Amino acid sequence: MGAEFIALPECATSLHENSTITKKLAKPELKNFSLQTLMALAKNNAVYILIGSLPIKLKNKITNRSFLIGPNGKVLCKYDKIHLYDVNLPNGEIYRESDTYSSGNKAVIGEIKENKLKIGMTICYDLRFPNLYQDLAKNGAEIITVPSAFSNVTGPHHWHTLLKARAIETGSFIIAPAQSGKHQCGRISFGHSLIISPWGKILSDAKKKEGLIYTRINLQEVTLARQAIPNIFSKKTYSTNI
């Protein structure tokens, strides 16, 4: 295929609902086998790899961290998930990601220096917070990654709609690699890894299948979309006296 950029989903190498197991398996970056292995793979194949996320142990907490790895095998940048999945779903399911992870507090844009390409990094539940995506686009992000393990309850109703909205409103390519199917822990993820154009067109959809999707990206589409509808650069303010 000749891929130059490979993106993996959230919890790329392990996914557990039991926070005790997740905390036990979490390692610091230097001791994280998955991270070190994927860094070596990036170098050996001279490709960029977006690790959707790994549980990374810090001093007295763990964080849900995404990594952008360069073709030299080094970490170019990393992003800690800001918005943690603390929800009460209509079917009675309750998730408290904050029981396991500490949230990040900083938006991150990675840069591929060869062509000055800027990649905004987000993770799963961040998708529901459009201001983050607008800020990334305003600061130059042309591609925004959304690695996910999206719920099978909300996925059929929200996944495609939210991702298309984020692409359209920011004029960005959206790359959203997603977990799919039933996991060993019993959890079911919605699947449907997607690549979406700045105009909101779905370029590739993995549906419920396990495997790979791919496409060629023309960054000129970002320029054209933002010139056509320059909404993210508007400086208009609004009265709050409603």
d(CA 172, CA 201): 11
The maximal CA–CA distance of the chain, rounded, in angstroms, is 58
3-state secondary structure of 29: helix
pLDDT of 40 > 70? The answer is yes
Predicted local confidence at residue 16, as pLDDT: 82
pLDDT of 240 > 80? The answer is no
Select which of 118, 124, 142, 164 is catalytic: 124
pLDDT of 17 > 80? The answer is no
pLDDT of 237 > 90? The answer is no
Strand-pairing partners, residue 64, are 55
Select which of 10, 118, 142, 164 is catalytic: 10
Contact (Cβ atoms closer than 8 angstroms) between residue 81 and residue 63: yes
pLDDT of 241 > 70? The answer is no
Residue, of 126 and 14, whose pLDDT is higher: 126
Predicted local confidence at residue 13, as pLDDT: 93
Mean pLDDT along residues 133-140: 97
State which fold the 5-233 domain adopts: Nitrilase/N-carbamoyl-D-aminoacid amidohydrolase (3.60.110)
**81 in active site:** yes
d(CA 53, CA 10): 5
pLDDT of 186 > 90? The answer is no
Which structure tokens are listed for 206?
């993995």
Select which of 81, 118, 142, 164 is catalytic: 81
Predicted local confidence at residue 33, as pLDDT: 96
Predicted local confidence at residue 108, as pLDDT: 98
Predicted local confidence at residue 12, as pLDDT: 95
